[in-house]
Amino acid sequence: MTGITQPSLLEIRSLLTQMLGNARDQVAMLPNLSAQVRALPPPNAELLSSPRFDRAALQTYVANFFRMPEDLEQGQQIRISFDSWIRGVSICVLPALEFEQAPDAATWENATALRALLCHYGTLWRGLVDVRWRIEDDQGFISDGIAAVTAPASQLAGDGEFSAPLDWRLNREQQINVTCINRLERVVDPECPTYFQRTLPWVAVAFWAERV
């Protein structure tokens, strides 16, 4: 029941309690109850009366991978600066173009169109990398049940418009270890003349957190 302010809801609650306590009131007070429910704010008041989070989703912990070569596992550590509640994770990959000579119109067209098409495997090119993470030595957050595995970032993380939910309470000085692999060759054959840089300039892994 979004968009309902607390005082009105409390009044309705109080009226319901009174009605349920007295069989005669259950019918006699129905018009009054109906009027009160009709007077509640309409659903479109949601923005003004119901924030989507009740705490600050402000702190962001990031692991940056720069100039990632193909098929080579790299790791980064994030140190938790404050007691934090990790709420979600987003990933952005930035693939770059590369031209050996000034591109003509057709080359531009092909290169940019192919680059855009790679977003079909996950917005913000998340399908181009595999990731996994662990908290200090605690493995198993992404596993096959026996050992840790890497999985496509498009399946594990969100982007700026949504984040994949997580729920970790971490203490200050704990560490998150993030491992990332460039999987560009999974969708683009190295022999294919696509004008892509095989090295990814930047992969950013962002954990959204609240300070506890």
Partner 1 sequence: MSRAQLLALVDQAAADPSSARRLLERAQFLVDQELRTAKFPPDGYVYAGAHTLVAKFDTLEVEDLPDPNDPRIRPLSQTTNDPEEIKIPFDMLIQGVSAWAIPELPTSIDATQLRGVLQMGVAPDGRDLFSLAWGLDGDNLYCTDGWKSHLLPAGCMVGTRANPRPLAWMPGRGRILNVWARNLTNAICPTAYASEIDIGWPLSVTVEFHGVKLEAAR
Q: At what angle do helices 6-21 and 30-38 cross, to 10 degrees?
A: 170
Site for partner 1 in 163-182 (CB under 8 A): 175
Residue from the set 42, 146, 191, 193 that interacts with partner 1 by CB under 8 A: 42
Residue 128: Cβ within 10 Å count: 29
Strand-pair category, 129-135 with 74-79: unpaired
CB nearer to partner 1: pick between 145 and 193: 193
The answer to whether the beta carbons of residues 180 and 203 sit under 8 Å apart is yes
Residue from the set 40, 135, 164, 166 that interacts with partner 1 by CB under 8 A: 40
- Least distance from C-beta 75 to partner 1, angstroms? 13
Binding pattern for the stretch 52-91 against partner 1, x by CB under 8 A and - elsewhere: xxxxxxxxxxxxx-xx--------xxxxxx--------xx
- Least distance from C-beta 145 to partner 1, angstroms? 29
Residue 31 lies near partner 1 (rule: CB under 8 A):
yes
Residue from the set 68, 95, 129, 179 that interacts with partner 1 by CB under 8 A: 95
Instruction: Name residues whose C-beta falls within 8 Å of residue 7's C-beta, 6 or more positions apart in sequence.
Output: none
> Per DSSP, which regions of the chain are E strands?
59-68, 74-79, 84-94, 129-135, 151-152, 164-170, 175-182, 200-211
Residue 188 lies near partner 1 (rule: CB under 8 A):
no
Question: Closest by alpha carbon to 95, among 60, 131, 127, 61?
Answer: 127
Q: How far is it, in rounded angstroms, from Cα 187 to Cα 161? A: 24
Residue 27 lies near partner 1 (rule: CB under 8 A):
yes
Question: Closest by alpha carbon to 92, among 70, 65, 69, 72?
Answer: 65
Residue 192 lies near partner 1 (rule: CB under 8 A):
no
Site size toward partner 1 (CB under 8 A) is: 87
Site for partner 1 in 124-163 (CB under 8 A): 124, 159-162
- Least distance from C-beta 70 to partner 1, angstroms? 17
* Cα separation values, 6 from 13, 41, 48, 95, 147, Å: 10, 11, 13, 49, 49
Residue 110 lies near partner 1 (rule: CB under 8 A):
no
CB nearer to partner 1: pick between 17 and 137: 17
Tokens 């090295």, residue located: 199
- Least distance from C-beta 122 to partner 1, angstroms? 11
- Least distance from C-beta 78 to partner 1, angstroms? 5
